[in-house]
Amino acid sequence: MAEWFRRKPMTDAVPAGERLPRTLSWPHLLALGVGAIVGTGILTLIGVGADRAGPAVLVSFGIAGAICACAALAYAELATMMPAAGGAYSYAYATLGELIAWVIGWSLILEYSLVVSTVAVGWSGYAAPLLAGIGMPQALMAGPALGGIVNLPAIVIIAVVAGILMLGTQESARLNAALVLVKLVTLALFVAATLPSFDAANLHPFSPYGFAKAMGPDGVERGVMAAAAIIFFAFYGFDAIATAAEEAKRPERDLAIGIVGSMIVCTLVYVAVAAVAVGALPFTRFAASPEPLALILREIGQGWIARIVAVAAVIALPTVLLGFLYGQSRIFLVMARDGFLPIGLARVSARGTPVRITLVTAVLVAILAGFLPIDEIAALANAGTLIAFASVGLCLLVLRRRAPDMPRPFRAPLGWLVGPGAIGGCLYLFASLPEKTLLWSLGWNVVGLAVYLGYGRQRSVLGRG
């Protein structure tokens, strides 16, 4: 059992030929975070959240945002202390030991795979009307679970984004920054078009389902916290910035700006969009819609802006794919370096990108997006993320105690509040997830432990060294 607790050095060196080049500055990282965070969550989850909390979905956004802010501050401190590509996995390996690191890595595999696959399927849904217009058969636009053969558009968009990432990190970052601007302008247009229709009467009753999670007569769990547990999906993505630590030009400065800055920008955007949405239309009118923002615009007579929102989603949603596919490939890269995946996957191309691991990652998520019923298991992404975020809060507290004098280029304010806030908040949201999701999460982690005991601990480079 001793191997379960072995820890990597906090300044673990990477051989020169395997190191990723430092090509990203803080604007690139800020755009990476905003691009990964602002996506299908804000475009669709306002409706889901309103269905579970009513107008009090505004409180749900605030709670989810506050918990994510604690996690983001913890990430920022650890990322500047240990600028390693693996994010939460690397922090756990250096702080909590190998077994916990494996569990975190296993959880991040779940998070990133399901997010990329879910967003690709969501993008396919937005693109479907355009593709149907050029004659693509319906059977090629949905997986077997929805009566089709394969969701070809979802596979194609994953292949395109993976190809861009393999061309070069800096080139990908520039394209991502341009598309992020498109998304922010589109959401600003939604706010400007909807604000004149704001009616305070639509906010009453403000919290029709109460605060704590409770099962409704229709079998749906409702309440402010039930909505917050789902809306949490709309906030994460900033953790992808932490996986870029090895490629940041000045990690001691750039990572903190990217992580904290992206959370501030996205929280302001989300609060503004959610406020005008629930104020412009009674929440029962858009709660069940898969495209609530577009529905609200059509209901208030802004159909042409609704079409702009739909087109902008098709153009800009790939930034979410880029952010998470980038992050997952870097986590896999570090796990390959550590021996948990074939070491050959960690090789870096002449252009300074991990082509092999990016290709393997793209194939994995393309299979999920093309053939499996993503909608039924997408909530699992929240479970994996909450586990990882709670671990980062714990790492922060452990290192404050174990290594109080270690240099911290960014020091989270009120660390003894931020750490417990991330841990307690994430665990509370975890408990607020649907019971089916919790059971799936338990099953996933049981499988993960079996894989570690039967394969991972024998393959570990640290154990062989």
CATH of the domain at 356: 1.20.1740.10
Residue 285 forms part of a structural domain:
yes
| Lowest pLDDT segment from 142-146, 196-200, 203-207, 224-228 | 142-146
pLDDT band at 435 (very low <50, low <70, confident <90, very high): confident
Number of domains in the chain: 1
Q: Residue 450: how many CA atoms within 13 Å on its side-chain side?
A: 6
For the segment 398-405, the average pLDDT, to the nearest whole number, is 93
19 vs 333: which has the higher pLDDT: 333
pTM for this model (two decimals): 0.86
Mean pLDDT, residues 47-76 taken together: 89
Query: Is 310 a member of any domain?
Result: yes
| Res 374 pLDDT > 70 | no
Measured between alpha carbons, how far is 268 from 187 in angstroms, rounded to an integer?
Answer: 11
Residue 10 lies in a domain: no
What does the pLDDT average to over 327-345? 86
Q: Mean pLDDT over all residues of the chain?
A: 85
Three-class SS state of 248:
strand
The rounded percent of the chain whose pLDDT value lies above 90 is: 27
Residue 84 structural domain? 18-459
Task: Please compute the mean of the pLDDT values over residues 276-291 and round it to a whole number.
Answer: 84
**For the segment 64-89, what is each residue's pLDDT rounded down to a tens digit?**
888 989 999 999 999 999 887 788 99
Tokens encoding 244: 């870029």
Strand-pairing partners, residue 252, are: none
Evaluate whether residue 236 is within a structural domain.
yes
How much is the pLDDT for 375?
Answer: 60
Residue 4 lies in a domain: no
Residue 465 lies in a domain: no
The helix (run of H) or strand (run of E) holding residue 221 is strand 221-222
Q: What is the pLDDT of residue 1?
A: 66
Domain presence at residue 11: no
Whether residue 7 lies inside any domain: the answer is no
95 — pLDDT class (breaks 50, 70, 90): very high
